[in-house]
Amino acid sequence: MKAFKRIFAAATLLVTTGLASEVNAQVPLEDFFKNPEKVGYQISPDGKYFSYMAPYENRLNLFVQEIGSDKTTRITSETARNLAGSMWANGHRILYIKDTAGDENYQLYGVNVDGTEPKAYTAFPNVRTQIIDPLENIDSLVIIGLNKRNPQVFDPYRLNLNTGELTQLAENPGNIQGWMTDHDGKLRVALAIVDGVNTQILYRETEEQPFRPVLTTNFKETVNFATFTPDNKMVYALTNIGRDKTALVLMDPATCEEKEVLYTNDKYDISGLGYSELKKKLTSVSCTGHKGIIRHYFDKDEEAIRTKLEQKLKGYDIGTTSQDKSENIRMIYAGSDRTYGTYYTYNVKEDKLTKVADAAPWIKEEEMVAMTPITYTSRDGLTIEGYLTLPKGYTMETAKKLPVVVNPHGGPWARDTWGYNPEVQFLATRGYAVLQMNFRGSTGYGRKFTELGYKQWGQTMQNDITDGVEWLIKQGIADPKRIAIYGASYGGYATLAGVTFTPDLYACAIDYVGVANLFTFMQTIPPYWKPLLDMMYEMVGDPVKDKEMMEKYSPVFHVDQIKAPLFVAQGANDPRVNKAESDQMVEALKKRGIEVEYMVKDNEGHGFHNEENKFDFYRAMDKFLSIHLKK
């Protein structure tokens, strides 16, 4: 489905309270954070091959294997950094993207299935590549977006994969944030920002016509065209206009008039659609629930296929990662909260499921622990969904006075989900309970829940985290003297806010690429975020109008309140949370004599991806927590 297709993640502590699990301590740290053995499987359009990523020189590279054969061919040889993603362009050629040292300026490359004719399509310095339309039905073409002309905006280009020729299809006037094609690959829709905080849909019937605005709304209102109907006249759209949760509707793109409501969920926003290019019809819609995916089907055959797979793979969350053009050969991924996952090929006509590979065979499901969905009530009456993972041998009834790591998610306009999380499992094997929560501002719970987090960094959003910790203490599960907080990105901000504004709650903290100063954060965003700056002012705070509030809730200005030891980790090339965020926090803490450990990796960006850097970070985390959370 075009609108959803995008190229696209040691000291061992022996617990002295309760059960000191010898089995837990035997799982090496490296097992959780080394590169998977094989991952990212995709079927070729002709159904003859599958591709996957696997380590070569400690970096994830592309491999190709003929279905039914054991022979594999490595077709890339990257040694500096993992590839960031890949996709089949046609039956004989694969596209992949990579950046430089974490700068997120992704460049597009291509190579044949036998490793021949490698080509750099968009190897332009400081330019980021987007995939607009893979053009599955046109072997030699793909539509991409490049911010080559202006680093703040992306122009659409048609790329000839045989010659490398780029043909610009339109010039971004400066306010277009996204482009959309129909099923014939024609550029028909543009998504714009107007007046800073309003979004606008522009539409045209043909590529010969100019774009014209058809709907302007405040950015808080959602109208996303997911894909065109088979005749390219109507669209399937996701919208929350006039409602709290997003609904799937049939819409006239020329007027944005809703023709029919096809599906809505009372509790969750819609998170995905299924569309059959072969049948030319919508097949399913899905929402991310508290535990797993909630699905609704429009196609009985698709539902029957799903039922058969669920019978064969009972107890696992199942997804189709790719399929051939006949939609008969499918690549299936099956995972859970206790396993990295397994890949299978599935022959629909023969109802035959064949195991291909475990993503990380060294992770033993029986050695991992369950992620338990939990809920608690915030101080102002909101129901907060979250997850509690307990060390092996404990239950909600038997867990008492455990050391806890509180782990707020990044974003903040994102959410935690049920499933395998290597960080969580690692911490659990070291004897810690791990608490995650979808505080207000998290996505997937409707418009109101998200908007409740606007301009609430360090305030009610932080209260939701604090209320979860207090709930865990009241349950008797958490030892109030042995609670740490750890998070990345916005979770890093929440970590700093936690030890700053509730200094007696946490024994220690780990800030990973987190925001320390709301003012400098706004000043150092990537250039392609600049057109969104007015929206960010509405969501986070306006440095002029909200100066007092932003100063009050920027941890760097209140380091005098911090008591807990801090460990900070940062990538030097981070384009989202500049290294200066961590630098100024560490400097301010050192001036006050607060214990702070600082790790910087010069070849990383927003989070560490190179295997050796991940090992360094988690070894340091392991040691830091063992010192500060021991009995």
If one counts the domains in the chain, the total is 2
Q: Which entry of 51, 276, 442, 489 is annotated as an active-site residue? A: 489
Residue 470 has φ and ψ, to the nearest 5°, of -65, -40
CATH code, domain carrying 185: 2.130.10.120
- The whole-angstrom separation of Cα 55 and Cα 72 is 13
Final residue before a domain boundary, out of 239, 266, 298: 298
Dump the DSSP string for 125-141: TT--EEEEE--TTSTTE
Q: Mean pLDDT for each consecutive 10-residue tract of the chain (631 residues)?
A: 34 29 66 96 95 96 93 95 94 94 94 95 95 87 95 94 94 93 95 92 95 95 95 97 97 97 97 94 97 96 97 95 95 96 97 97 96 98 98 95 98 96 97 98 97 98 98 98 98 98 98 95 88 93 96 96 96 92 93 92 94 97 95 61
Q: Which helix (H) or strand (E) covers residue 450, if one does?
A: helix 447-451
Which amino acid, residue 230? P
pLDDT value of position 21: 38
In a domain, residue 165? The reply is no
333: enclosing H helix or E strand: strand 329-336
Query: Dihedrals φ, ψ of 523, to 5°?
Result: -85, -15
Pair 291, 369 in one domain: no
* List 183, 558, 606, 628, catalytic entry: 606
Whats the size of the chain, residue-wise? 631
- For 403, which DSSP code? E
pLDDT recorded at residue 4: 34
Looking at residue 195, what is its pLDDT? 87
Q: What is the pLDDT of residue 362?
A: 97
In order of 233, 241, 618, the CA distances from 237 in angstroms are 13, 11, 42
Residue 245 lies in a domain: yes
**Residue 574 falls in the annotated catalytic set:** yes
For residue 312, being part of any structural domain is answered with: no
Owner of token pair 């630098």: 583
CA 541/CA 524 separation, integer angstroms:
15
Q: Taking the CB of residue 357, how many other CB atoms lie within 10 A of it?
A: 19
What does the pLDDT read at residue 631? 61
Q: Is 489 a catalytic residue?
A: yes
Q: What pLDDT score was predicted for residue 549?
A: 98
Q: How far is CA 39 from CA 83, 340, 423, in A?
A: 12, 10, 18
Residue 384 lies in a domain: yes
On whether the CB atoms of residues 85 and 76 are closer than 8 A, the answer is: no
User: What is the pTM (predicted TM-score) of this model?
Assistant: 0.92
Asked if residues 252 and 239 have their Cβ atoms less than 8 Å apart, the reply is no
Six token digits for residue 340: 């990295």
* Residue position matching structure tokens 């065979």: 361
Instruction: Read off the CATH number of the domain in which 489 is found.
Output: 3.40.50.1820
CA distances from 217 to 167, 192, 237, 535 (A): 32, 11, 15, 13
Which of 279, 298, 317 is the last residue before a domain boundary?
Answer: 298
At residue 138, the pLDDT reads 83
The residue type at 121:
Y
Domain extent for 517:
365-521+561-628
Give buried/exposed letters for 441-467 (b at 16+ CB in 10 A, else e): bbbbbbbebbbbbbbbbbbbbbbbbbb
Query: What's the maximum distance between 2 C-alpha atoms anywhere in the chain?
Result: 72
Query: Which of 99, 155, 464, 574 does the annotation list as catalytic?
Result: 574
Tell me which of 267, 298, 329 is where a domain ends: 298
The answer to whether residue 170 sits within a structural domain is no
